[in-house]
Amino acid sequence: MPAPALDFWFDLASTYSYPAAMRIRPLASEAGVTVRFRPFLLGAIFKEQGWDTSPFNLFPAKGRYMWRDLERICADMGLPFRRPEPFPQASLLAARVALVGLGDTWGEEFCCAVFRAEFAEGRQIGDRQILGAILAGLKVEPTATLAAAQGDDIKAKLRSETAEAQRLGIFGAPSFVTADGELFWGNDRLENALVWATRSQ
């Protein structure tokens, strides 16, 4: 019998996806669950609701709460945290690079490194130089990889992944979807998603 599976849907600009990315691999491994990283563009889904930026910017009380809450969560986990400016960061190019890496061996490490650069170091993840440095740190050749990330097949793949997220009913990030289609939204629901994934196996 194959290991139970869980899809981890996230946007590289999503705040709560940072702690989720940092903890999903050890937790899933402990639970005997195989995780698949599925980056997508949350902004495209927000746009359909008539939002041109994050709800954390549109609704100030919600935004203030989120920053404080994220700070608490990172402190509890011992994760460094620095608020990126501007928020949200432009995650399009990073998501495309992630898809190149997820088709190779270094995709998950790249995503985690992008989250650290953005939310622990406050770097601009929309910047090619920053992404190039992250790739170099993973011993991945930056120039060819950034070129591949701009190829038509990767662009189409990111569009189809975002469409698939929407089809699954995803409206925020992080979201977790089990093999039988159960959706769990939010970093704090990761444990429930892992339990569901093992139970429904």
**39 φ, ψ to 5°?**
-65, 145
Look at residues 100, 195, 170 and name the one whose alpha carbon lies nearest to residue 138: 100
Q: How many Å apart are CA 178 and CA 166, to the nearest integer? A: 15
Residues found near a second copy in the complex (CB under 8 A): 49, 59, 61-62, 64-65, 68-69, 72, 166, 169-172, 183-186, 188-189, 192
For a second copy, the closer CB: 74 or 149: 74
For a second copy, the closer CB: 87 or 90: 87
CB-CB neighbours of 178 under 10 Å: 22
Minimal distance in Å, beta carbon 77 to a second copy?
Answer: 13
For a second copy, the closer CB: 63 or 132: 63
Minimal distance in Å, beta carbon 189 to a second copy?
Answer: 7
Could you check whether the bond before residue 174 is cis, i.e. omega within 30 degrees of 0?
yes
Minimal distance in Å, beta carbon 59 to a second copy?
Answer: 6
Minimal distance in Å, beta carbon 65 to a second copy?
Answer: 6
Beta strand residue intervals within the chain, DSSP E: 5-10, 34-39, 175-178, 183-185
For a second copy, the closer CB: 71 or 141: 71
Q: What letter would DSSP give residue 4?
A: P
